[in-house]
Amino acid sequence: MNSFGSTIQLLEIKSRSCCRPALLAALLLGCVNSRAASDVDARVGSLLAQMTLAEKIGQMTQVDSAALPDKSHIQKYFLGSVLSGGGSDPADNSPQSWLNLTAECQSWAAKTRLKIPLLYGVDAVHGHNNVLGAVIFPHHIGLGATRNPALVESAARVTAEEIAGTGINWTFAPCIAVAQDARWGRTYESFSDSPELTGELGAAAVRGFQKNSILACAKHFVGDGGTRGGADQGDTAADEATLRKIHLAPYLPAIKSGVGSVMISFSSWNGAKMHGNKHLISDVLKGELGFKGFTISDWAAIDQLPHDYKGSIEASINAGLDMIMVPNGPGQGNNYLEFIAKLTELVNEKRVPLTRIDDAVRRILRTKFAMGAFEAKPVDTSLTAAIGSESHRQVARDCVRQSLVVLKNDSSALPLSKNLKRILVVGRAADDLGMQCGGWTLSWQGETGKVTSGGTTILEAIRQSVGSNTVVSVSADGSGAHDADAVIVVVGETPYAEMKGDRGDLRLSAQDNALIKKARQAGAPMVTVLLSGRPLILGDALEASDAFVAAWLPGTEGLGVTDVLFGDYQPTGKLPRAWPRGADETPAQTSSGTQSAFPFGFGLTYDARHPSDSRPIKTASANP
């Protein structure tokens, strides 16, 4: 019996608090026993029958918290959901302030006539990354290198616990885009360019989130990773068979894992915006694939449809959108008051059938009931206190260990001995938590420097890892390596996220190449660690290094990097996508391996001990 088969038996337990995660997954899979299904359906039907059109449309409306001129609008307009987008944080961004914000919003929902609770959404895409002091996990591309579904599920479980500690109940994750072109600025949000690996790890993340009653959201439906030239919000030109084989495939395991929501993509398919694509949203996703949850638009994405605003609302709702993210408030362009008014007009004019409204609201309410939102208790303060805890950081540290891919290790340069007399650390990225974490970390685009409390930079981790007699020196420009026993150079991309992260040129920066070249001149054994959200064209940097490690965007736990560099753990990471050799290489050539520097699945292990080090190398845990 599979895991869902065993958990479905729990649904006969009368206490909803005992079976909430199983109920969510099972109901959305359509494989729950008739008694539990009838109970939820009866409650949904009863509630829906009492609702006015205004209350129904309110449930279909999601507003950014910063756009609400007054939180009482949640009650006044019967809003079904609030989100905190990039930058919509409480003043001091502490866990307690987040908890206060979400509690205030829920209190206004509780004052509505029918007391329907809110779904509060946030982009917790690699940990609860909006919150000061939360654990930041490796981005998806690093988790893809682990090839470890159990570990990915554990990471999502920890993230869900930290989300719950702030009173939030919905994350816009996992991203199950199958990024084909690394020039796309969201490549690091993709587990892999393999549909199979992406689907396997995406389903694991769904299970991890929803086991803790945090609603997951598979995104972005569909084809976001296949746009021409890797252009963000661009056009995926492909026949339907190709779209299904590459981009639709990961949605099947996510749906089988009971994912409760799906976000529609900004991108287009063969020139037509996805937010108006009835065939793929209603016929394929909801019909053919049997998705029982609800769909959500991306940030103001319906505004990009080729109509006036009222026409865009009509097209998106009739295409199968159930909830619309209308982040703007009064006076900010197309806003939630205008959305509510125009959708009301469309229903009264019979341009949007009331049956379509009822279907959307039924899906939203069904999910709220299934995830236990109507029976939600006050937030367990132990969850709030556990945000950023050592036990959570240990799971993230294990993710880092298993994500590192050793691309080169000449003369067994790795692992480094902890007993070297002097180690020189070169590169600004070595002591920059923001560069380790990348985009979507406290702010939308991310930033350099000490972006959050807690965590350990790679430089700090090196100092903690070596013996007391080892001198760790720092060089900003690569000089001073002549008397070092080993040099560790840490280079990489500065933080970025969607839109601003698109790059036409994927070559390692001239500054980083010059740094590596200068550090190499002294002749000491040199290890280069690359922090990046995608494979970069390495040029002479690879040849100049004795060992080269792709560390991706590892997050806050730099000790996971040094665990591997100094041989406490065996490197096990394997490339989740092929590594290009040159700037003129096409994505197809890279993925096929015909011109790649390193093929999909490549990754070295340590086959010999350092002569002065007899310590056994551990293998990282599969189930932390």
Active site residues: 298, 498
Distance of CA 102 to the CA centre of its chain: 21
> How many CB atoms sit inside 10 A of residue 436's CB?
31
Locate 501 and state its tokens.
């992260």
Provide the residue count of the chain.
624
Contacts of 622 (CB under 8 A, 6+ apart): 148, 150, 151
DSSP string, 204-218: HHHHHHHTTTPBPEE
The residue written with tokens 């869900």 in the block is 160
Residue 228, Cβ density class (10 Å: 0-12 exposed, 13-18 middle, ≥19 buried): exposed
Question: 228: which DSSP letter?
Answer: G
User: What does DSSP say about strands 217-221 and 119-122: parallel, antiparallel, or unpaired?
Assistant: unpaired
The overall longest dimension of the chain from CA atoms, in Å, is 81
Output the DSSP codes for 300-339.
TGGGGSSS-HHHHHHHHHHHT--BEE----TTSSS-HHHH
Under a CB-based contact definition with an 8 Å cutoff, are residues 487 and 437 in contact? no
3-state secondary structure of 281: helix
Helices (H) and strands (E) in the chain, counts: 23, 19
